[in-house]
Amino acid sequence: MNFFITGTDTDAGKTFVTALLTRSLRKAGFDTVAMKPISCGEPGDTLALQVAADNELAIDEVTPVSYSAPLAPIEAARLEGRTFDPSEVMGTYARLRASHRSLLVEGVGGWIVPLTSTYSTADLAKEMNLPVLLVVRNKLGTLNHALLTLESIKARGLTCAGIVLNNHPSDVADPAREGNGRLLAELSGVPILFEIFPGQTDLELAIA
């Protein structure tokens, strides 16, 4: 149970889903831990993933690279006179993969967020070579954002193992919500693994 978890955009619900899946897999008997390799701004997402795995990992294992400014990583790094180096992340990733049966990796922002002028989160996912879970916020515009992201994942030779449809509280009146899951599965051929609802604290996992 190893996945790279990406989203169609910032605030799609990646951290919520990653923490939820971490807790649920651990409850099902896996040794799941989660990392968010790069963080920009306040460390709330990092702390949420640390707690979801019962504080098994240190903060710098959950997030090896952090920047102070809540900006795109390339800009946040430049403000600090830094340049992202994948080796800052891949060493920790390799150790966690070697020591855990189950590792979840949460991306930053959307799928192709620039980390440097020549390297993006999609490149990081490719280097990790994990199956991808795509978190989409269930609202108008979801179809376009999700299909574009799925197309890019496939173009990089990676497999999208499934879509997680996240129902955000502020989108409850959006009429597009009802048909998005059905249409995404039909148009992309990628299964909807879960539909997440506000306040949800657990997932029913059918694991052989």
Q: Please state whether beta strands 132-137 and 160-166 pair in parallel, antiparallel, or not at all (unpaired).
A: parallel
Q: Which helix (H) or strand (E) holds 151?
A: helix 142-155
102 contacts 31 by C-beta, under 8 angstroms: yes
Encoding tokens for residue 90?
């891949």
Sign of CA dihedral 139, 71, 6, 122: positive
Say whether 36 is catalytic.
Answer: yes
Among residues 14, 27, 36, 139, the one annotated as catalytic is: 36
CA atoms within 13 A on the CB side of 138: 24
* Catalytic residue set: 36
